[in-house]
Amino acid sequence: MLRNEKDKSRKGLSLVISKRLISVFSPLLQHGFSVITTEGTNIKEFLCYHLGFSPEYLNERIQSILLNGKPVDNPDRATLEDGSTLALSASMPGLVGATLRRESILASFRSTITHKEKNKTKDGRPARVTLKLFNLVMKESGPHLLKQGIIVEKDELIGLLKNQPSSFWEGCKEIYLNGENIIPDELLEKIESEGEWIFLQVISPEES
């Protein structure tokens, strides 16, 4: 069911599961996963050109962007570096939720933590960025990113898989670890011997 040979032979874990189970992976998306980009890439480039978000989606849906825990008002002018953490959220309720929106009328409320860009240039070096997806952004973009593949902490992944009920494994149609087709019972044991980070791809045939 994986779409092509490249998917099958990819290093890491590839799962083919039914669509209703994709939300099982939402804790990983909230907790944060790694994406490799280029040092000095700005947030807009990263999201639109690298990850495939449409500019309209960025403008309309992604209302709060937090870079290293600091609200960003202008994604064209905030750049990523190795080790950056980027969190994305739709517009949120509450006074503080409204305060954290991009260019919020209440932005003065959080002026001491607002991201301030230092002039940085793109230098072509790879940068590993932790990306966190929250709420509606997670729901809408998560399946797409899981299909492309994300890099997750092995322990987080094991913790998640360990707690799954039998109904999850029944809905898990195919499992490939480093290109090898394996059965659910083998998975947790084999995954233990992987490195600290693991590439995870989750595909739902109903979506492909």
Partner 1 sequence: MEKILRIDMGADGGPKVKEEPLGEYAGLGGRGLTSAIVSKEVPPLCHPLGPENKFVIAPGLLSGTLAAMSGRISVGCKSPLTGGIKEANAGGQPAQVLARLGYAAIVLEGKPKGDDIYKIVINKDGVQVIADNSLKMLPNYDLIDRMKSEYGDNIACISIGPAGEMKMCAASVACTDMELRPTRHAGRGGVGAVMGSKGVKVIVLDDSGLPMRTPKDPDKFKEANKLFVQGLQQHAVTGQALPAYGTNVLTNIINEVGGYPTYNFKEGQFKGASKISGETEAELEKQRGGVPTHGCHRGCVIRCSGIYHDKDGKYLTKQPEYETVWAHGGNCGIDDMDAIARMDFLDDNYGLDTIEMGATIAVAMEAGLAKFGDAEAAIRLIEEVGKGTYLGRILGNGAEFTGRAFGLERIPVVKGQALPAYDPRAVHGIGVTYATSPMGADHTAGYAVAQNVLKVGGDVDPLKPEGQIELSRNLQIATAAIDSTGMCLFIAFAILDQPETFQALMDMLSAFSGEAMTADDFMDLGKKILTMERDFNKRAGFTSKHDRLPRFFKTEPLPPHNITFQVKDEDLDKVFNW
List of residues contacting partner 1 (CB under 8 A): 23, 26-27, 30-31, 61, 63-64, 66, 69-71, 73, 87, 89-100, 103-114, 132, 134-136, 138-139
Tell me if 150 sits within 8 A of 28, measured CB to CB. Answer: yes
Q: Which of 13/86 has CB closer to partner 1?
A: 86
Q: How far is the CB of 148 from partner 1 (least distance, A)?
A: 21
Decide whether 106 or 188 has the Cβ nearer to partner 1. 106
Going from the C-alpha of 93 to that of each of 1, 34, 38, 64, 188, the distances in angstroms are: 41, 28, 34, 12, 39
Q: What is the largest CA-CA distance in the chain?
A: 55
Cβ count near 129 (within 10 Å)? 24
Nearest approach, Cβ of 118 to partner 1 (angstroms)? 17
Hunting for tokens 């949120």 — which residue is that? 92
Give the shortest CB-112-to-partner 1 separation in angstroms: 6
Output 2 or 129, the one with its CB closest to partner 1. 129
Handedness of CA 38, 76, 144, 130 (dihedral sign): positive
Q: Write down the least CB distance from residue 125 to partner 1, Å.
A: 25
